[in-house]
C-alpha cells in the first residue's frame, strides 16, 4: 500500500481507538498495541514528510504560542439565570408556565406540558468548538460571550474531543473543559508546581501558551449545547443524543423531570452524588426539553428564559489568614496551624485550618494577611489549598520559628518537621505524653481529661 494511504488509515484507526478509549471508556486494544500503532504513524510521517495537521502526532501538545488570538463566536454565548433556593426555582417554573399558556391562548399549534432536563453544572472553563465540513476548525474560550480567545492548539490536547465528526454542516458546540480530581491529585504528586483546585487548573491549562503544559494536565470536556446549527432538533434529549452520536463526550447524568417536586428530589440526590464523581460541579442546569417551547420563550440579552442554573453551596471558601501559631506535639514535632478570619461553612464557623509543615507554607505561598482558599473536608479542620493572589499587597512572610514558643529551646530541623528537642521540660510535649500514658490504649484512666492533666501539671508540678 502507498505510504500516504497507510498514514491516512492509521490516523483513522487512532481516532477510532481514542473515541473508544476516551469517550466511551471502552478501550479496544491494550496500551501497548496503541503505542505500536502510534509509533508506526510517527515513523511513516518522518519517512515521508507527509504530516497532516489533524494527525494525532500533532495534537499532543508541544507547540508554544506567542499570544492568544481573538475569536468572534458565530452565535453569542449566553450565560445562565441563577437560582439558589427552591422558591426561586418555583418562580421560574411559574413564569415558564405563564409564557407557555399565553402562547397557547393565541396560537393553534399548542405547546405541550413542560418537561425539564437536568444536567450537572460543570465547574471548569467553557469552550466553544467550531466544526465545519466535519472538521474541528476552531476552539475558543467563552470570553464575554461575543468575543473569546482562540485556544485551538490547547483544546486539541484533550483527547476525548474528536477532530472529525460525521455531521458536515457548520456547527458551534459548547461544553466545559475540566480537570478530573484524580488527575489533579496525580499531577500534584508528580510535579513541583502545586495546583490549588481543579477549576483553576483547567482554566490555567487552556489559557497557557505552552501547550505541553496543557497536555500534562490530562483535561477532559463535556458538551451540552449547540449554539449554532441548521439542524432541526425537537428536544434537548435529541440534541444530546446527536452530540453523543458525533463522538463528543456528554455526561452520563441527564434526567428528565416534570415538576418542582421531581426537580427537588433530583437536587437532593445530586447534592450527595456530586461528592462522589471525579469532576467539580457547582450546581445543576435545568432546561425545558421541548425546542419549540424554548424558541417561544426566547432569551433576554443575558440568558435564555427556558433554562436556569441551580447553584449548590460551595465546597470551597475564601478567607484571610490572620496569623500562624506553632503547636508542639508529643514527640516534639512543631507544626503550624492557621488562624483565620472566621467564615461560615455550611452552618459551622471555622477559624482554624491545617498547614502541614513549613514546606507546605512555602509551597502554597501562604503569607500573613493572604486571601486564601480553604476546602471543607468532612467535618475535620479544613485544609488550606493556596492563596487567591500570589502578589497580594500588604502581606507578611510567615517566619520559621528558631526557638520553641513554649520552652525557648533551640529548634532542630528534621527531614520534614521542625523539632523541639527538649523532651524533659517542654510543657506541651509533657502534656501530650501524659495524655497518651493515661489514654484508653495505655493506662486507661477513666475521666482524666487533657484539661485536668494540664491543671495537675500546673498546680502540683506533676511530671
Q: Which residues bind Zn ion (CB under 5 A)?
A: 404, 406-407, 409, 420, 422, 426
As measured in angstroms, the least distance from the Cβ of 404 to Zn ion is: 3
By beta-carbon proximity to Zn ion, the closer residue of 36 and 327 is: 327
As measured in angstroms, the least distance from the Cβ of 411 to Zn ion is: 8
Listed in sequence order, the residues at least 6 apart from 104 whose beta carbon sits closer than 8 Å to its beta carbon are: 110, 111
Query: According to the 3-state scheme, what is the secondary structure of 22-76?
Result: HHCCCCCCCHHHHHHHHHHHHHHHHHHCCCCCCCHHHCCCCCECCCCCEEECCCC
Angle, helices 31-48 vs 3-18, to 10°: value is: 150
Q: What are phi and psi of 357, to 5 degrees?
A: -165, -175
- Assess contact for 418 and 358: CB atoms under 8 A: yes
Rounded Cα distance between 17 and 29, Å, is 8
- Assess contact for 366 and 384: CB atoms under 8 A: yes
By beta-carbon proximity to Zn ion, the closer residue of 310 and 406 is: 406
Task: Give the up-direction half-sphere exposure of residue 70: CA atoms within 13 A in the CB hemisphere.
Answer: 5
Residue 285 β-bridge partners: 119, 309
As measured in angstroms, the least distance from the Cβ of 433 to Zn ion is: 13
By beta-carbon proximity to Zn ion, the closer residue of 140 and 420 is: 420
As measured in angstroms, the least distance from the Cβ of 460 to Zn ion is: 21
Query: According to the 3-state scheme, what is the secondary structure of 325-390?
Result: EEEECCCCEEEEEEEEEEEEECCEEEEEEECCCHHHHHHCCCCECCEEEEEEECCEEEEEEEECCC
By beta-carbon proximity to Zn ion, the closer residue of 145 and 421 is: 421
By beta-carbon proximity to Zn ion, the closer residue of 74 and 407 is: 407
By beta-carbon proximity to Zn ion, the closer residue of 351 and 425 is: 425
Report how far Cα 146 is from the mean position of its chain's Cα atoms: 24
Cell of 381: 479542620
As measured in angstroms, the least distance from the Cβ of 339 to Zn ion is: 20
Listed in sequence order, the residues at least 6 apart from 39 whose beta carbon sits closer than 8 Å to its beta carbon are: none
Residues in the chain: 463
CA distance readout (Å), 144 to 77, 147, 153, 173, 288: 8, 6, 21, 17, 25
By beta-carbon proximity to Zn ion, the closer residue of 372 and 420 is: 420
Rounded Cα distance between 428 and 336, Å, is 14
- Assess contact for 355 and 361: CB atoms under 8 A: yes
Annotated active-site residue 287? The verdict is no
By beta-carbon proximity to Zn ion, the closer residue of 340 and 420 is: 420
As measured in angstroms, the least distance from the Cβ of 403 to Zn ion is: 8
Catalytic residue among 9, 13, 121, 364: 121
Q: What is the largest CA-CA distance in the chain?
A: 94
Cell of 442: 495505655
Question: Going edge to edge, which strands form the sheet with 281-288?
Answer: 82-83, 307-311, 281-288, 116-122, 254-257
By beta-carbon proximity to Zn ion, the closer residue of 17 and 431 is: 431
Residue (of 66, 50, 59) closest to 15 by Cα position: 59
Q: No. of H helices and E strands in the chain?
A: 13, 18
Block residue for cell numbers 511513516 = 44
Cell of 235: 428536544
As measured in angstroms, the least distance from the Cβ of 407 to Zn ion is: 3
Active site amino acids: 121
Amino acid at each position: 500500500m502507498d505510504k500516504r494511504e497507510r498514514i491516512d488509515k492509521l490516523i483513522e484507526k487512532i481516532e477510532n481507538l481514542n473515541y473508544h478509549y476516551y469517550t466511551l471508556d471502552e478501550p479496544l486494544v491494550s496500551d501497548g498495541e496503541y503505542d505500536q500503532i502510534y509509533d508506526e504513524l510517527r515513523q511513516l510521517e518522518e519517512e515521508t514528510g507527509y504530516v497532516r495537521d489533524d494527525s494525532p502526532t500533532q495534537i499532543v501538545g508541544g507547540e508554544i504560542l506567542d499570544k492568544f488570538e481573538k475569536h468572534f463566536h458565530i452565535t453569542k454565548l449566553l450565560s445562565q439565570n441563577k437560582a439558589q433556593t427552591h422558591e426561586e426555582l418555583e418562580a421560574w417554573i411559574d413564569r415558564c408556565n405563564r409564557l407557555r399558556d399565553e402562547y397557547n391562548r393565541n396560537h393553534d399549534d399548542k405547546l405541550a406540558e413542560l418537561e425539564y432536563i437536568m444536567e450537572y453544572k460543570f465547574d471548569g472553563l467553557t469552550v466553544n468548538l467550531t466544526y465545519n465540513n466535519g472538521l474541528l476548525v476552531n476552539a475558543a474560550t467563552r470570553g464575554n460571550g461575543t468575543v473569546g480567545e482562540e485556544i485551538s492548539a490547547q483544546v486539541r490536547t484533550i483527547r476525548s474531543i474528536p477532530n472529525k465528526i460525521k455531521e458536515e454542516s457548520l456547527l458551534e458546540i459548547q461544553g466545559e473543559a475540566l480537570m478530573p480530581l484524580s488527575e489533579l491529585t496525580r499531577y500534584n504528586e508528580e510535579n513541583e508546581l502545586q495546583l490549588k483546585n481543579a477549576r483553576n487548573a483547567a482554566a490555567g491549562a487552556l489559557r497557557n501558551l505552552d501547550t505541553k503544559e496543557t497536555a500534562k494536565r490530562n483535561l477532559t470536556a463535556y458538551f451540552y449545547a449547540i449554539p449554532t446549527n441548521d439542524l432541526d432538533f425537537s428536544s434537548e434529549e435529541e440534541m444530546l443524543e446527536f452530540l453523543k452520536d458525533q463522538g463528543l463526550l456528554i455526561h452520563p447524568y441527564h434526567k428528565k423531570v416534570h415538576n418542582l417536586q421531581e426537580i427537588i428530589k433530583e437536587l437532593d440526590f445530586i447534592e450527595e452524588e456530586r461528592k462522589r464523581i471525579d469532576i467539580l460541579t457547582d450546581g445543576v442546569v435545568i432546561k425545558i426539553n421541548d425546542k419549540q417551547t424554548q424558541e417561544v420563550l426566547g432569551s433576554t440579552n443575558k440568558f435564555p428564559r427556558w433554562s436556569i442554573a441551580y447553584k449548590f453551596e460551595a465546597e470551597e471558601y475564601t478567607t484571610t489568614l490572620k496569623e500562624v501559631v506553632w503547636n508542639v506535639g508529643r514527640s516534639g514535632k512543631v507544626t503550624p496551624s492557621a488562624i483565620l478570619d472566621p467564615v461560615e461553612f455550611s452552618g459551622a464557623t471555622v477559624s482554624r485550618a491545617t498547614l502541614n509543615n513549613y514546606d507546605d507554607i512555602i509551597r502554597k505561598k501562604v503569607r500573613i494577611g493572604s486571601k486564601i482558599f480553604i476546602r471543607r473536608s468532612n467535618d475535620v479542620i479544613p485544609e488550606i489549598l493556596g492563596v487567591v493572589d500570589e502578589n497580594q499587597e500588604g502581606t507578611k512572610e510567615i517566619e520559621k520559628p528558631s526557638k520553641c514558643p513554649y520552652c525557648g529551646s533551640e529548634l532542630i530541623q528534621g527531614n520534614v518537621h521542625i523539632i523541639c528537642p527538649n523532651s524533659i521540660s517542654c510543657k506541651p510535649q509533657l502534656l501530650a505524653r501524659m495524655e497518651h500514658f493515661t489514654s484508653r490504649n495505655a493506662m486507661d484512666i477513666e475521666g482524666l481529661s487533657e484539661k485536668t492533666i494540664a491543671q495537675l501539671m500546673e498546680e502540683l508540678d506533676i511530671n
